[in-house]
Structure 1
Amino acid sequence: MEKPSNGFRVFVKEIYLSTKERIELVDITNKVEEAVQESKIRNGICLVYAPHATAAIILNEHEKGLLSDIVKKILEIAPPGANYLHNRIDNNAHAHVASSIIGSSATLPVVNGELVRGTWQNIFLVELDGPRASRRIIVEVLGE
């Protein structure tokens, strides 16, 4: 943790996890909230970032049917069997395409030491090229 003299602080924590499916949503809400608590930052922002070209970060409801619907829609938008040029190198172009559409980060406010999210908003890593033994998520909390 860095603490400049003006009271502004930066806290960084890395989260590691493994995935089991080719495409899946992994709820990381509790781990992100733990990082915010650990940071001791009262007011600021929290960046959640997946430094991977074949994974993404989303906010949404943790409901089994909805999670299945999201996976189904990802498969419709970027089907694995399509005729992608990148598949000449790797057979994962669908994952790169989906990640570029979805995005690799989310930023949430931190108010009074708590992560602010909507009633039905959880934070998910979207695995697009699994299974993977190790995926890294960077949580950076900035503020006072």
Structure 2
Amino acid sequence: METLSSIKLAVEKTNGSRAEKEEVRKSSEVKFLTKVFNFATEKHFELNNITAELLALVRRSGIQDGILNVSSLHTTMALFINEYQNALLDDIKSFLEKLVGQTDANHHQCNHTAVSEKGYKHNCAHCSDCDRQNTDAHLGATVLGHNLCLQIANGQLILGQWQSIILAELDGPRKRTLITQIIGS
């Protein structure tokens, strides 16, 4: 689904300051473009560079100045910005494995208040109704984040020289949805 709509803004001049005059000039019309991406991931853990798709979306929108908001609609799929380089991607995977660990439902202490070193309550059949045993994916997505907000200037998405927008599948393979919205003029 891709929609493009516009609304006119009425901007009141309270005084003649330069900042307000610039704002009035740039805020005469605001456009919104919403695009939903539906796709299937192939692996349990994968890192995908989605920068090219988002750059193309910004170009198609015709919006010159504004913001791009990108959101994962899943609690086990994350978004982040970093360099998309194979050795670094391997390091990111290793970092997440060390940080959140491999989950093991058999090592959880079922006293409903304590969690052992190697187990999580979310993976315990007695404590949770989740049968996927995917606490590590939830925690990894919590650390990485589910949403990005990026600036658009002069029709270009603003990214640093080595920055890429990376989608992290942490509990695949699954059908996934990503929603984007561009707001600007």
**Sequence identity (%):** 33
1:141 aligns with 2:182: yes
Question: For residues 179 and 96 of structure 2, what CA distance do their matches in structure 1 show?
Answer: 23
Match for residue 55 of structure 1 among 71, 77, 99 = 77
4+ aligned runs moved over 3 Å, structure 1? none
Could you say which residue in structure 1 is the equivalent of 2:121? 85
Kept after mapping to 2: 8 A contact 1:55/1:125: yes
Q: What SS class does the counterpart of residue 76 from structure 1 fall into?
A: helix
1:62-98 Cα offsets, whole Å, 9 max, x none, are: 1100011101111111123230100122310111111
Equivalent residue for 2:5, pick from 2, 6, 11: 2
Aligned residues: 143
Structure number with the bigger relative contact order (C-alpha 8 A, sep ≥ 6) is: 1
* TM-score normalised over the length of structure 2: 0.74
Which is higher, the Rg of structure 1 or of structure 2? 2
Q: Which amino acid aligns with 1:130?
A: G
Residue 6 of structure 2: SS of its match in structure 1? Answer: coil
User: What TM-score does the superposition give when structure 1 sets the normalisation length?
Assistant: 0.94
- 1:16-65 Cα offsets, whole Å, 9 max, x none, are 23222222111111111111111111000111111100010011111100
Deviations 1:86-111 (A, max 9, x none): 01223101111111121101111101
Unaligned runs of 5+ in 2: 10-28, 104-117, 125-129
Could you say what the CA RMSD is over the residues aligned between the two structures, in angstroms? 1.1
Aligned to 1:40: 62
Query: Partner of 1:68 in structure 2?
Result: 90
